[in-house]
Structures are given as C-alpha cells and as structure tokens.
C-alpha cells in the first residue's frame, strides 16, 4: 500500500518538475559561461568530513592551484553549528561553514567550474578539528592550529549558500534548505576576484553575524602582472561579531547591536588574537601579497599595514583594477582586495582596520619580518 502511495507521489512530483523546471540552455559571452543546470535539493545519509575537495584551506593559508588551464572542482562545505572562541574568554555557538569562522578559503582559477554540495547538518553534532579526519587541507589545518578551540554545538536552522563568485539565478542556486537536506549546484568562475560567500537566509544579518561566510579566491587566468615577484601569499578575512553575555555563561547574538551596527568585536581570521598569537611571517625585502576580504556584515574596513605602503592594490582582486601607492584600501562589506607591499626592514608590521574603533575592537594582526 505504501509503495503504491509513494509511486503516486513520485508521479505527481515528476509532473510538477516538468512544469516548474526553468531549464536554461548554456551560452557563452566573451568566453564566459552562463546557464547552469538546475540546483538539486535532496537528502543523503552523509556523515563524513564536512569539508571535502581540493583548494580548500584555513585562513591565513591559501592552497596553491595544482592544475594548468581550467578544470572542474567538486567541493563540499557542510553547514552546522560550532561553539567557537573569537577573543580570549568569549565563546558562542556560531553557525559555521565547515566548523570554523570564517569558513574554508576556496581557491580556483578564472574559468574553472565548481560543483558544490552542502548538507545542512545544523541539527547534529559534527566532528571537526580531528587530526585523523581527511577530506581537505582546511580540516588538517584546523586540527593543527584550531585558533577558535572549536567544540560541537547544535542549532537547527534553515540555511543557504550564496557565492558572490558565481553568476546564477539566486532563487534557484542560493535557495534555503532545511536541517537534514542537502543541495548541489554548479557555478563557473567567470571573473577573477576576491569574493565572499555567505548564507542568504533571513534574517541574513543574523546568519552572517553568526558566522556563515568565507572567501573564494578566483585567480586570473593569465595571472597578476606581479606574480613572479611575490614571495609570500596570505589570506586575511575581517568580520564583525555582535555578542552579549548569555544566560549560560557564554555569549550570544545581540540583535539590537547588530541592527545598530555596533559590533562587540571586529577581528581578523575569526579571532582577536589569530594573527597575534601566530604572526604572518616574511623576510626583509619580500613582496607580500594579502588576499583581503571584509565580510562586514555591516561595516567598512580601511585596511592598512603600519609601516608599509601598498605597492599595488588589485581592487576586488581583478588585475584590471590596479591602483598604486595606497596607504590603505577602503573595502565595503562583502568586498575584497588583493594588496601587495614590500617588507622594508626587520620588525613587526601591524595589520589594522584604520577605522580605529574597529581596531580597538580587535581588528589587528601582526606580520613579523626577520
């Protein structure tokens, strides 16, 4: 009886798909590819590593591109709650991509295709920071460094994934999925850049402030003009947290502060001390490249390195957007930049948001040169 019922449902569902599908024939403009297959929402028993695929690292690291030309990446980043520390003594149950905030850095090349899978595991506990766990460099690095002292948490919640690096119909690809559901969709990195990805589920301010964001680096297909001179390459992600003391000894989201754009913490790479406990390293004379993303969710960043001048800035990470001799670069919420500077002498170089209230709230890091 139940088999019959299921069949009837399936037949009706198939009929519905025939009417509902917005099948888009692929087309090209100037070599860029548009028209992706329809997103697929499904359930799967998957309980494996939450971050799987090549080119996935934990900031400040950037995975090198191993391929020539363009390729297709199969990438999984699951979303689930994770109890994290974002400043000494300040822990909260974040909503994460992959178990840390920010989520994994994804590195692809202009023209690459990404087949992306995400399971909403927000109502289960997911193990991260396990040295035995394989799946991506991100998980290995998280287990080794774990600047946020990640612990398991549960917070069932619908979520979604919006890659700014993709050009697609958002109501299809970026759609919200329930706890226990998975989504799979494709996008092509048509433009080089330094792109945010984030959850787009209402209240989007809360979902991003709770930690659902990360960085996609789309390297230009012909490279940057300065590629040959670069000695060090790092990733710095700035983001705001809006926390207040909760009733159970920890911290929790402060909705009023978020609406008032009054963050309690503004940090680089997810922790006030992430780049102080473990400074970026360089040698005197090095040309250092930083892929910088300002997540926001609501505030700008005037990114500056004390004692250095940006020899070149590729605004939004596109080599055509070159600017020179910049003391700082102003980066809006959900924007990025590639900056390069020369290390003039041995010493410590502080990375700051030159909007000093944000710096005092934690937006500071160190590059140490010997």
Partner 1 sequence: MTARTLRSARPRSDRSRPTRTALGALAATILATFASSAFAQEAASAPGATDRIAIPGGTFETVLVLDAAEVAVAPFALAATPVTNAAFLAFVEARPNWGRDAVPSVFANAGYLAHWAGTTELGSAPAAAPDLPVTHVSWYAAASYCDWVGGRLPTEYEWEYVAGAGARRDVAQAVAQFAWYSSPEASVRPVGQGAPNPFGVHDLHGLVLEWVHDFETVLPGEDDGTPFGLGCGAAARLTTGNDLADQVALMRHVVRMNFVAERGSSRLGFRCAFDAPGNGE
Does 81 interact with Cu ion (rule: CB under 5 A)?
Answer: no
Which range binds partner 1 by CB under 8 A, 13-21, 140-148, 284-292, 327-335? 13-21
Q: How many residues bind Cu ion (CB under 5 A)?
A: 5
90-109 residues near partner 1, rule: CB under 8 A = 92-93
Nearest approach in angstroms of CB 58 to partner 1 is: 24
Q: CB atoms < 10 A from the CB of 177, how many? A: 21
Residue from 336, 35, 12 nearest 173 by CA: 35
Q: What mask, x for binding Cu ion by CB under 5 A, covers residues 196 to 225?
A: ---x-x-----x----x-------------
Contacts of 313 (CB under 8 A, 6+ apart): 322, 323, 324, 326, 329, 337, 338, 339, 340
Stretch binding partner 1 (CB under 8 A), from 103-111, 157-165, 280-288, 318-326: 157-165
Of the CA atoms within 13 Å of residue 308, those in its CB half-sphere come to 33
Residues contacting residue 17 through CB under 8 Å, at least 6 positions apart = none
- Select from 65, 154, 309, 342 the one that contacts partner 1 (CB under 8 A): 154
* Of 79, 58, 57, nearest in space to 66 by CA: 57
Find the helix or strand (DSSP H, E) in which 277 lies. Answer: helix 274-277
Q: How far apart are CA 173 and CA 102, in angstroms?
A: 21
The option from partner 1, Cu ion, none interacting with 88 (CB < 5 to 8 A, set by class) reads: none
Nearest residue (CB) to Cu ion, 107 versus 159:
159
Give dist(CA 149, CA 90) in Å, integer: 11
Structural element, H or E, at residue 28: strand 27-29
Could you say whether residue 339 binds partner 1 (CB under 8 A)?
A: no
User: DSSP letter at 120?
Assistant: B
**Which residue from 70, 71, 146, 252 is in contact with partner 1, where contact means CB under 8 A?**
252
Distance CA 165, CA 257 (A): 29
Question: Measured from the CB atom, is 45 or 69 closer to partner 1?
Answer: 45
The site string for Cu ion over 138-177 (x = CB under 5 A, - otherwise) reads: ---------------------x------------------
By a kind-dependent CB cut-off of 5 to 8 A, residue 284 interacts, out of partner 1, Cu ion, none, with none
Per partner kind, with CB cut-offs from 5 to 8 A, the member of Cu ion, partner 1, none near residue 35 is none
Total residues at the site for partner 1 (CB under 8 A)?
56
Task: Report if residue 357 touches partner 1, rule: CB under 8 A.
Answer: no
Piece of 7-15, 274-282, 315-323, 348-356 that binds partner 1 (CB under 8 A): 7-15
163 vs 104, 175, 355, CA distance in Å?
Answer: 13, 12, 27
Burial 225-263 (b: 16+ CB within 10 A, else e): ebeeeeebbbbbbbbbbbbeeeeeeebebbeebbeeeeb
Handedness of CA 128, 210, 362, 269 (dihedral sign): positive
Q: State in angstroms the smallest separation of the CB of 44 from partner 1.
A: 11
| Residues in Cβ contact with 329 at an 8 Å cutoff, skipping those fewer than 6 apart | 292, 302, 303, 310, 313, 315, 323, 337, 339
- Decide if residue 178 touches partner 1 (CB under 8 A): yes
- CA dist., res. 252 & res. 237, Å (int): 22
| Binding mask of the shown chain, residues 25 to 54, with x at each position contacting partner 1 by CB under 8 A | ----------------x-x-x---------
Q: Which spans of this chain sit near partner 1 (rule: CB under 8 A)?
A: 1-2, 5-6, 8-9, 12-17, 20, 22, 41, 43, 45, 92-93, 123-124, 153-158, 160, 162, 170-171, 174-181, 200-204, 206, 210, 246-248, 250, 252-256, 259
Q: Which spans of this chain sit near Cu ion (rule: CB under 5 A)?
A: 159, 199, 201, 207, 212
């Amino acid at each position: 009886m139940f088999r019959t019922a299921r069949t009837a449902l399936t037949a009706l569902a198939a009929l519905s798909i025939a009417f509902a599908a917005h099948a888009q024939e692929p087309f090209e403009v100037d070599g860029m590819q548009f028209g992706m297959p329809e997103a697929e929402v499904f359930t799967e028993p998957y309980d494996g590593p939450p971050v799987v695929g090549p080119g996935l690292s934990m900031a400040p690291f950037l995975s090198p591109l191993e391929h020539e030309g363009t390729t297709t990446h199969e990438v999984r980043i699951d979303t689930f709650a994770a109890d994290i520390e974002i400043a000494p003594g300040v822990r909260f149950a974040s909503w994460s991509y992959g178990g840390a905030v920010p989520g994994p850095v994804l590195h692809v090349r202009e023209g690459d295709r990404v087949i992306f899978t995400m399971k909403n595991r927000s109502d289960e506990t997911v193990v991260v920071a396990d040295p035995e766990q394989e799946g991506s460099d991100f998980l290995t690095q998280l287990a080794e460094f774990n600047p946020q002292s990640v612990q398991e948490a549960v917070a069932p919640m619908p979520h979604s994934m919006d890659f700014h690096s993709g050009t697609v119909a958002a109501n299809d690809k970026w759609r919200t999925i329930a706890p226990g559901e998975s989504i799979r969709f494709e996008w092509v990195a048509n433009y080089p850049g330094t792109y945010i990805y984030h959850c787009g589920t209402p209240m989007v301010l809360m979902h991003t402030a709770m930690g659902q964001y990360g960085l996609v680096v789309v390297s230009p297909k012909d490279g940057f003009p300065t590629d040959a001179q670069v000695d060090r390459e790092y990733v710095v992600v700035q983001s705001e947290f809006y926390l207040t003391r909760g009733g159970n000894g920890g911290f929790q989201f402060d909705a009023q502060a978020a609406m008032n754009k009054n963050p309690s913490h503004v940090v680089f790479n997810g922790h006030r001390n992430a780049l102080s406990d473990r400074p970026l390293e360089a040698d005197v004379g090095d040309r250092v490249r930083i892929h910088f993303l300002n997540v926001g969710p609501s505030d700008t960043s005037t990114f500056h390195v004390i004692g250095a001048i940006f020899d070149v800035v590729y605004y939004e990470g596109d080599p055509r957007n070159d600017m020179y001799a910049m003391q700082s670069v102003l980066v809006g919420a959900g924007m990025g930049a590639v900056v390069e500077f020369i290390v003039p002498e041995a010493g410590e170089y502080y990375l700051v948001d030159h909007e000093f209230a944000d710096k005092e709230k934690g937006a500071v890091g160190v590059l140490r040169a010997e």
